[in-house]
Structure 1
Amino acid sequence: MQNQLLKVLEVIKLGEKLKFEMRHSWLSNGRQESVAEHTWMVSLMALLIEPYLTQKVDSSRLLKMIIIHDLVEAEAGDIPAFDTMDNDKLKKLKAEKEIKAIENIRDTLGNGLGEEVYNLWFEFENKNTYEAKVANAMDKLEAQIQHNEADISTWIEIEHKMSFLMDKHVQFDSNLKIFKDLIEQQAEKKLKDAGIDTEKIKINIKS
């Protein structure tokens, strides 16, 4: 038992690195966001959104997936989505590093717990279950919520476009689509208030 708990402690210590692994997102007070803060907010969102989902969800598995998903970034680092959007080489490298990291976590924990963590991570990645789709949607929507809370000066140009690219993450649930629309409307207002032509952005997306 002591040896197993020592392995658990090792992974918890690995997770501590997420407190200083920074994301390309900023807080409303001007400080950069950590991966740990992002994970906490995604977990909170899942808890609060659950009663409004159109299907029954296994909340325990949903929260486990969310908590585990970004743990690999303690070893692999955080690579912003906009960096891999049109870069297949970087996307492949990111995937390889994250798979190696989750394999290391599985092997560190060992026994059934290691396998559970490993399988939950891949369930999130594959997005084949309702819980995984919800977890992915929360992950993507939280990023936009955080951008909406931050000063517009912290946004880079590609993030203007990304504000209108969230549809694909919520199509499986009508209430999440409504929630996404509310977040998108706030993003559009923020962009317009900064003098940015959002209609031009939308036209370019469609073309």
Structure 2
Amino acid sequence: MNERFLRQLDFIREVDKLKHIVRRSYITDGSRRENDAEHTWHIALMATVLEEHVVGEQPDMLHVLRMLLIHDLVEIDAGDTFAYDVQGNMDKFDRERAAAERIFDILPKDQGEEMMNLWLEFENGSTIEAQFAAAVDRLQPILHNYATEGKAWLEHGVTSAQVLARIDSITLSVPEIGCWAKELIADAVQKGYLLP
């Protein structure tokens, strides 16, 4: 086999580790926490289903899906930083960038650079594709928390103000869904799933 193919196989084996990274969100029946690979599949499918709600210029969906598929690979090394962990988020980008450099360097140079650029684009949120990808990434944990009656939110003392602060990307990319998410958050507070 040629070296390029062998490096691609090494990368494929390495990213299988994503299945072992456990997130704070529970699956919708509340029986266990989801892993990063499940999260990645779910948000890629969500993007495909919710694409029609994007207003204005339409994102290149293949680009969105590729971004979603790789955006959390860095957590193989950096771990899943809880969205509401102020201390953990202070050096999150640096930890994740180091992880991205190591993981994407396993690939042939051209593919590694392409993946690094996709990851940076997602992190920077500078394109409509990155904004839509971020929107579904932020929406999914809200749906899971609502379905589990706020299980992860209540375990960690998360407030509605904290959740609302994270949904700007939803409102920016898909305003209709952003408004709906705000209503869902208000309902979650009323039902006791989320602290006011």
TM-score, length basis structure 2: 0.88
| Equivalent residue number for residue 161 of structure 1 | 161
Structure 1, unpaired ranges of 5+: 202-207
Q: Does 1:66 align with 2:68?
A: yes
Q: Whole-Å Cα distance in 2 between the matches of residues 129 and 148 of structure 1?
A: 29
Q: Contact between 1:166 and 1:180, CA under 8 Å: does it hold in 2?
A: no
Q: Whole-Å Cα distance in 2 between the matches of residues 76 and 138 of structure 1?
A: 22
How big is the alpha-carbon RMSD for the aligned residues of Structure 1 and Structure 2?
A: 2.0
Q: Whole-Å Cα distance in 2 between the matches of residues 28 and 94 of structure 1?
A: 27
Structure 2, unpaired ranges of 5+: none
| Larger-Rg structure | 1
1:136-175 to structure 2, matched below 5 A, reads 136-155=134-153, 156-173=156-173
Which is worse superposed, 48-57 or 60-69? 48-57
Change (3 A) 1:114 1:195: closer
More helix by share: 1
1:51-200 to structure 2, matched below 5 A, reads 51-54=52-55, 55-84=57-86, 87=87, 90-155=88-153, 156-173=156-173, 176-194=174-192
Q: Contact between 2:171 and 2:178, CA under 8 Å: does it hold in 1?
A: no
Change (3 A) 1:83 1:166: closer
Which is worse superposed, 4-13 or 17-26? 4-13
The number of residues matched between the two structures is 192
Q: Whole-Å Cα distance in 2 between the matches of residues 126 and 69 of structure 1?
A: 12
Q: Does 1:23 align with 2:28?
A: no
Q: Contact between 2:23 and 2:34, CA under 8 Å: does it hold in 1?
A: yes
Q: Tell me the secondary structure at the aligned position of residue 33 of structure 1.
A: strand
Q: Whole-Å Cα distance in 2 between the matches of residues 158 and 73 of structure 1?
A: 22
Q: Structure 1 vs Structure 2: percent identity of aligned residues?
A: 31
